[in-house]
């Protein structure tokens, strides 16, 4: 069987599971600090949800922009690149679009990932909309 540089749904999901465990640690720290700053009182659910959303996006944005990989992606030798000609690193706007689409894909139980099998360039919805691409390194 021939190896391809394309990253299929299985590797994307496995790397995401690794990153979810790391995010739990980030959320624990953020939640602890927020609770401490709020005098030990539980935050309003809307504010808590906003903190979760923004902190997760910041986690991914920092890793994607600086290294092109999260720690979960490093384990599985996956890297995110800019699919636009002449650009090497992805931009902050691309990280936000990709993260937003990923949240929608999570809500749909990952089903949009299977577009990879019918797209001629082997791209998923989040790749197409954010103009990025995952490659094996």
Per-residue pLDDT reduced to its tens digit, 75-101:
999 999 998 887 678 999 999 999 999
The pLDDT of residue 18 is above 50: yes
Examine residue 34 and state whether it is found in any structural domain, yes or no: yes
The pLDDT of residue 21 is above 50: yes
Average pLDDT over residues 22-51: 95
Please tell me the predicted confidence (pLDDT) of residue 85: 80
Taking residue 132's Cβ as centre, other Cβ atoms within 10 Å add up to 23
Examine residue 2 and state whether it is found in any structural domain, yes or no: no
Examine residue 26 and state whether it is found in any structural domain, yes or no: yes
> Which is nearest to 95 in space by CA: 80, 113, 74, 111?
80
Task: Give the residue, 69 or 110, on which the prediction is more confident.
Answer: 69
Q: pTM for the full model?
A: 0.89
Examine residue 33 and state whether it is found in any structural domain, yes or no: yes
Rounded CA separation 54/40 (Å): 21
* Domain range enclosing 116: 9-136
Q: How many domains does the chain have?
A: 1
Q: Is 124 left (phi over 0), alpha (psi -120 to 50) or beta?
A: beta
Examine residue 114 and state whether it is found in any structural domain, yes or no: yes
Examine residue 4 and state whether it is found in any structural domain, yes or no: no
Examine residue 1 and state whether it is found in any structural domain, yes or no: no
């Amino acid at each position: 069987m021939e190896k391809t540089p394309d990253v299929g749904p299985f590797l994307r999901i496995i790397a995401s599971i690794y990153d979810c465990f790391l995010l739990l640690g980030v959320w624990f720290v953020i939640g602890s600090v927020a609770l401490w700053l709020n005098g030990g009182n539980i935050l309003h659910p809307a504010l808590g949800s906003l903190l979760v959303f923004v902190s997760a996006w910041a986690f991914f944005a920092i890793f994607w922009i600086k290294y092109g990989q999260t720690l979960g992606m490093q384990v599985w030798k996956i890297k995110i690149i800019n699919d636009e000609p002449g650009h090497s690193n992805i931009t902050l706007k691309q990280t936000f679009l990709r993260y937003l689409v990923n949240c929608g894909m999570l809500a749909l139980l990952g089903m949009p990932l299977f577009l990879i099998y019918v797209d001629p360039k082997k791209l998923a919805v989040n790749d197409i909309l954010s103009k990025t691409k995952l490659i094996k390194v």
